[in-house]
Amino acid sequence: MTLSELLGTPVHDAAGHRVGRVADVRLVLADRAGGEAHVHGLLVSRRAHTPFLGFERSGATSPWPVAQVLRRLHRGAFVVRWADVEVRADRVVLRAQAPRWSADLPTGTRREGGD
């Protein structure tokens, strides 16, 4: 499986309603060099093909017009953990009552990737 096969895949909830597409895949990196990187969850948004440019996730607010446009485009985006999804051939299905988490990267991990 490659990352590009996941990106853009439609995401449905347990009742079959479409909730968006896979906009990104959130990874956990090991602290040591050469350590493992594993998938933490999927970032789901209604506009998977519009880049976040870092605004949605870092809480950046400038330049203000760009931040406003991107936050509006991706309003309602959320992260769902890998354990709460089932990847099928043509869609990703959320487990019933799967918790949804903020798309913001937690404090301490922001901007380290060079947003």
Tokens encoding 67: 């931040």
CA pair distance 6, 24, nearest whole angstrom: 8
The CB-of-52 to other proteins minimum distance in angstroms stands at: 6
Site string for other proteins, 90-109 (x = CB under 8 A): ----------xxxxxxx--x
Is 36 a binding residue for other proteins by CB under 8 A? The answer is yes
Any idea how long the chain is?
115
Cα–Cα distance, 71 to 31 (Å, whole number): 31
- Sign of torsion over alpha carbons 80, 22, 111, 71: negative
- Among residue numbers 39 through 78, which ones bind other proteins (CB under 8 A)? 39-41, 43, 51-52, 54, 56-57, 71-72, 74-78
Q: Rule CB under 8 A: which residues touch other proteins?
A: 1-7, 23-31, 33-34, 36-41, 43, 51-52, 54, 56-57, 71-72, 74-79, 81-83, 100-106, 109, 112-115
